Structure 1
Amino acid sequence: MLRVLNISKKFGNFPAVSDVSLSVKSGQILSLIGPNGAGKSSTFRMIVGLLRPDSGSVLIQDSSAIRKVRREDIGFLPEERGLYQGVRIGDIIEYWGRIRGMSNADSKSASRHWLDKFELSGKRSEKVSALSKGNQQKLQLACCLIHQPRYLILDEPFSGLDPVNQEIVSTLLRQQCQLGVGILLSAHQLSLVQRISDHILIIKQGQIVSDSAPDNAQAQIHPAIKAVQIFFNDDIEPENSGHWDASEVVSANPGNLTLRLQVATPSEFYSRLSTIAARADVRDIDIIKEDLHQRYLSVVKDSPQSSKSSQ
Structure 2
Amino acid sequence: MLRNENRIIGLILTSITFTLTTFAMIISLTVLVILIYQWYRNRIKKEDKITIYLCIHIYLSLLILAAIILSMNIRTLLGDLTGQSFDSLWCIFSGYLALNHISTVYMAFVNQALYRLVRIIYPRYQYFQSLKFYTFLFIIEYLCGFGIHCVIIAWNGVIYLTNDHFCYASFTNLLAVVWAAFFAYLFPCSCPMIIYIRITRFLRRQANTVTLVTRQRQDRDFLIVRRISIILGLLLILGIPAMIFILRFAITGDYYPLTLRVSWLPVAISVAGLSVASAYCIPQLKSTIRKVFQHRIAFISGVVPLDRTEM
**Does the alignment reach a TM-score above 0.5?**
no
More helix by share: 2
TM-score (norm 1): 0.25
Tell me which of the two structures has the higher relative contact order, counting C-alpha pairs closer than 8 angstroms and 6 or more residues apart. Answer: 2
Which protein has the larger Cα radius of gyration, Structure 1 or Structure 2? 1
TM-score (norm 2): 0.25
More strand by share: 1
